[in-house]
A and B are shown apart, each in its own frame.
Chain A
Amino acid sequence: MPRTETYLDWNATAPLRPEAAAAVTAALACCGNPSSVHRWGRAARAEVERARTAVAALVGVPGHGVVFVSGGTEANHLALLGAGRARVLVSAVEHDSVLCGLPEAEPIPVDCDGLVRLEALQLLLAADPRPTLVSVMLANNETGVIQPAAEIAAIAHAHGALYHCDAVQAAGKIPLDMASLGADLVTLSAHKLGGSPGIGALAVRGELDLLPILRGGGQERGRRAGTENLPGIAGFAAAASAAVAELAIYDQVRALRDALEAQIGAAAPDAVVLGAAAPRLPNTSAVAMPGTAAETQIIALDLDGVMVSAGAACSSGKVGPSHVLKAMRVPPDLAAATIRVSLGWSTTEADIGRFLDAWTALYRRRRGFVAAVAHTQPAAHKGKARAA
């Protein structure tokens, strides 16, 4: 019997949008190398350039401002290493691909809501006159917290620094425009907004020179070598266009997410939503069930067909608390009890219902039922009930 599966791990990856599936499938049948000068090659090149314009439109830059890369991780590396700045400041809640991109980067602290402390950023910039790149993500992958990008950009620019913004989680969920963000470099990933995995882009404002990480055939105007991933690029463009056209769906997603949090709050007064006081993505909820390890929650939810995660998928295999929650000074026991619930454009009220059923059932087992059993049954049954 096929069980009903409820996918609430959209921040890890999103399903391929139908428009993207059609574009990927069509491009997979197209054989040319975009660098070849014969007709097969020219057809492939035309497709790449059409797609570049569509992806550029997602962030409001001209087509030539988009450099296609293999994904968000590579784009973040290209921004940090390629901008060629002597000094790099990164927020303490950045994705691992930013934090590991340049181990010597200096951290910018965040407040307990996960927002960058602007006065600390100013002090850091004022303290050292070297050419600097500031890298602060638009929305956090674990909490959904949205940074004040325009203010960060203004501070960075006032000190002559460049601003790089990892918009992997924000793109397709909230409006995005490089000019209003004030960002000089923006990281995008296709598979988070309904394209296929293995393709991303770094959007570049103006004529900023980038030192390539991958060298070779001179593709992407010398900024990133390697034969272009044509199906990935075509799917990325289709997904980007669909995401822009359907952005209003996220009003409904927000309503579902808010209802989810409200019902959790009603059922479990001690539950905590992290970053709730800050502006957040409409689809993300980092919610703690105090006293119950995230791993326990995830296994229990998975048994009920509900898929969520304990944090970033890329570090799912890692042990230890989330660096994001740690930077927000969330107490370690609360951080260890936090799961990430992330919704998407096809999430339904029924999905939320199934999540709430599973979550509250677990909550009751861990609280009331155990207490009730302890109250009415012989002590020998206590351990059994707890193990369930």
Chain B
Amino acid sequence: MSSPMDTPANALPIYLDNQSTTRLDPRVLEAMLPYFTEHFGNPHSTSHAYGHIAAEAVERARAEIAALIKADPREIVFTSGATEANNLAIKGAAHFARAHPARAHSQAASPRNHVVTLATEHKCVLESCAELERQGFEVSYLPVEPDGLVDLDRLAAALSEQTLLVSVLAAHNEIGVIQPLAEIGALCRAKGVLFHSDAAQAAGKIPLDVEAMQIDLMSISGHKMYGPKGVGVLYVRRRPRVRLLPLIDGGGQERGLRSGTLPTPLCVGLGRAAVIAGAEMAEEAARLRRLRDRLHQGLARRVARLGLNGDRERRLAGNLNLSFPGLSAPALIDACPSIAISTGSACTSATVEPSYVLRALGLPDAIANSAIRIGLGRFNTEAEIDFAVDALAAAASRLAAENGVRPPAGVPT
């Protein structure tokens, strides 16, 4: 991939959308390639060498992913991605609680039928919860604080004898906010409630420890951590045992929790991505934080009343969610064709409505509509950051001049 700065006319823009997806790390690609070609065996073919080679590679990857989150390899269930993992965790836990109340929660007199989540969760969590509501489950969508963080007192108050599951995003896909997982885990464990965390954005970027954080279910995505698309995992705790009903049943792979031929090269890729992310985490986070602060400070010097959405400290090192009061985010993005950024989640970026996440922070529509998400990643350089500062600042001032728009009075900054 050539640098977009060389030939801005036809090169792809500088990629600053690493919360949407990340580039495959060349080391991951290298690890995967043999399993696409010479080692193509079906890992479930137990009768011959090609199957064994594939199965060993899958199990090695499973152990590598487990190590990243301090889990046991047997607790790792491969899925097609974080969306499937989230669907499986939430619907699988709820359906099991309904089908086998005594086995799901030993003290339960009647099936637990209540799920608690946050209003700012990813669409696939919210949609899974909505499906549960249509099936007669109760779901509480808790508001968050203006900084995007969960209010632990409110969460504690929301838990009842009926609550079966709490689902909270580890690190947010739009605003990068990192939730207090250990505190949430302790609250849930004390009440005998399962704790699921969507760690698609967090895995490989911040330390995760399913034991210390008392997490029962955790979703991870390959393509958000420089691994391949089409693969993810759900961590499913063994002690105390967390039970789920599968969404996809059949051949009985993944200990009956998820049937279907495992894609060996994708599993291998996710395993390699986990090893690299684990080894380089601290150093890379420090590097990204420096680049992010450089970008933020560079823009803040040149853009009046630039706003930062989401908690300043407790956020992913590579994430910025910035509002440009008085401007429209889509117009700003259009005016910066040389950098790839977005208004928010890619999954919903085709919609024109302001981000439900930013609204949940209590931001007025005018501010939410002016917000862009910038996701820095492993392959971004300082030169790219400086280029992005110039491009965004120039576009912002040009748009402000064209519009003749002054930020409306009374808008918080």
Contact = CB atoms under 8 A, between A and B. Distances in A.
Interface stretch (B244-252, B293-301, B403-411): B244-252
B398 interface: no
A215 B127 contact: yes
Contacts of A299: 47
A36 B340 contact: yes
Interface string A67-102: 001111110110000000000000000011111110
A317 B46 contact: yes
B250 to A, nearest CB: 3
A231 interface: yes
A97 to B, nearest CB: 3
Contact of A198 (B251, B252, B266, B350): B266
B40 A16 contact: yes
Contact of B21 (A12, A33, A198, A216): A33
Contacts of A43: 12
Contacts of B123: 216-218, 225
A41 to B, nearest CB: 7
A317 B44 contact: yes
Interface residues of B, number: 74
Nearest to B267: A198
A330 to B, nearest CB: 20
Interface string B331-349: 0010001001110011111
Interface string A37-65: 11111010000000000000000000000
A117 B116 CA distance: 50
A9 B40 CA distance: 11
Interface in B50-83: 50-51, 79-83
Size range of the interface on A?
Answer: 35 or more
Given A217-B347, A218-B348, A312 B230 contact: no
Contacts of B48: 9, 298, 302, 307-309
Contacts of A97: 248-251, 259-260
A227 interface: yes
Contact of A214 (B84, B122, B251, B264): B84
Contacts, number: 270
B271 to A, nearest CB: 14
Contacts of A41: 17, 20, 340, 346
Contacts of A29: 1, 24, 29
B124 interface: yes
B395 to A, nearest CB: 14
Interface in A284-305: 298-299, 302
Contacts of B260: 70-74, 97, 314
B180 interface: no
Contacts of A360: none
B411 to A, nearest CB: 26
A21 B259 contact: no
Contacts of A218: 123, 347-348
Given A36-B340, A40-B12, A229 B80 contact: yes
By secondary structure, the A interface counts as loop
A122 interface: no
A216 B1 contact: no
A191 interface: yes
Tell which of A29, A100, A101, A314 has the most Cβ of chain B within 10 Å: A314
Given A31-B15, A36-B349, A13 B40 contact: yes
Interface centre among A28, A189, A197, A231, by most B CB within 10 Å? A197
Contacts of A73: 248, 250-251, 259-261
Contacts of A307: 45, 47-51
A313 B51 contact: yes
Nearest to B260: A73
B41 A13 contact: yes
A342 B338 CA distance: 52
Contact of A37 (B1, B15, B128, B350): B350
Interface string A186-201: 0001010000111100
Interface of B: 1, 12-13, 15, 17, 20-24, 29, 32-33, 36-37, 40-42, 44-51, 79-84, 86-87, 122-125, 127-128, 130-131, 221, 223, 228-231, 247-253, 259-266, 333, 337, 340-342, 345-350
27 contacts: A5-B50, A9-B45, A9-B48, A9-B51, A13-B261, A31-B23, A33-B223, A36-B17, A73-B250, A74-B80, A97-B259, A98-B250, A100-B249, A100-B250, A191-B42, A198-B80, A214-B247, A216-B347, A229-B231, A231-B228, A231-B229, A232-B229, A308-B48, A312-B251, A313-B251, A315-B252, A317-B46
